Amino acid sequence: MAMNISAEPLIRIEHLGKSYSLQDAYGHTITNPVLFDVNLSIRYGEFVAIMGQSGSGKSTLMNILGCLDTPSEGSYWLAGEDISTLSNDQLAHIRNQRIGFVFQGFNLLKRMTALDNVAMPLLYAGIHRAQSRKRALELLCRTGLEKFSQHQPNQLSGGQQQRVAISRALINNPPLILADEPTGNLDSQTSQEIMQLFQKLNQEQGMTIVLVTHEDDIAAYAKRLIILKDGRVIVDKNNS
C-alpha cells in the first residue's frame, strides 16, 4: 500500500483515559485506572515502538488502538473516524478491514495450511476461495514462504509461522499493522529477520506499523519511540 499523504493523521488520540471497574468481596465497586490523559498522533507511514514495564498500560493502549477495547474517556480517531461512536459490529468491520494484527503466539489455526491461514480474513469477508488463495500466495511469496504454502503450522519454524502471521495481517491491505511482542517467542537471529521484514514493509510499502515490545534492541528498529509509565506517556521521541 502506498503511503497516504493526507494531512489527517492515521491515529489521533486526545485526553484518552481507561479505567476498569471491579467488585471487592463486600460488593463495593472499585475503579482501577490504567491510562491517564494520553495524547498521541501517528501519521501514515510511521514505524512506532511502544515500550513500558509490566503494568504501564501499553497492552491496554494497544487493545484500544486495535478496537479490541474502548476508552473510558477521551477520543480515538482512526483514519478520520471517531471510533467511540461505533457499534460492536462496526468495530469488528474496522478490525477486519483496516487493521492487521501480529501477535507473540502467532495465532495460526493448526489444522489449516499456511496458505489458508493467510487467506482466512478474505474468506470471512465473503471473497471467493480461489481469489482469496491467489492473494494469499502473493503475500507468502513477498515474505519468502511460497515453498511452504501447503505446510501446516507444526511443520514450520517459529520464524516461518510469524511470517505467515504477517502475511495474514497484510491480506486486506490495511493502513495499520499492530504488532504485540511479535518476537517474544523467537530466538535472537530470527527476531532480527522478522524486524528486518517489518522495516522493509515500512520503507518499501509505506506500511504504518505500531509495535509493542519490552526489548530495547527490537524497539531500535522503529523510527519513533513512545514509553509509558503508570498509564502516562513519559517519552515520545524519534529514534536516533
pLDDT for 1: 42
Please give the distance of CA 216 from its chain centroid, rounded to a whole number.
18
Q: Please state the domain extents for the chain.
A: 11-238
159 pLDDT above the threshold of 50: yes
Residue 191 vs residue 23, higher pLDDT: 191
Is the torsion defined by CA of 155, 157, 162, 167 positive or negative? negative
Query: Scanning the structure block, which residue is given the C-alpha cell 478491514?
Result: 97
CA atoms within 13 A on the CB side of 240: 0
Query: Scanning the structure block, which residue is given the C-alpha cell 501517528?
Result: 42
- The x, y and z cell numbers of residue 146, run together, are 511460497
28 pLDDT above the threshold of 90: no
pLDDT for 3: 46
pLDDT for 152: 96
Name the architecture of domain 11-238. Answer: 3-Layer(aba) Sandwich (3.40)
| pLDDT class of 101 with cuts at 50, 70, 90 | very high
The reported pTM is 0.90
Tell me the three state secondary structure of residue 151: coil
Q: CA–CA separation, 210 vs 62, rounded Å?
A: 9
Q: CA–CA separation, 73 vs 39, rounded Å?
A: 12
Helices (DSSP H) in the chain: which residue ranges?
58-65, 88-98, 114-124, 129-142, 158-170, 188-205, 216-219
pLDDT for 8: 87
Chain segment 201-228, per-residue pLDDT in tens: 999 989 999 999 999 999 999 999 999 9
170 pLDDT above the threshold of 90: yes
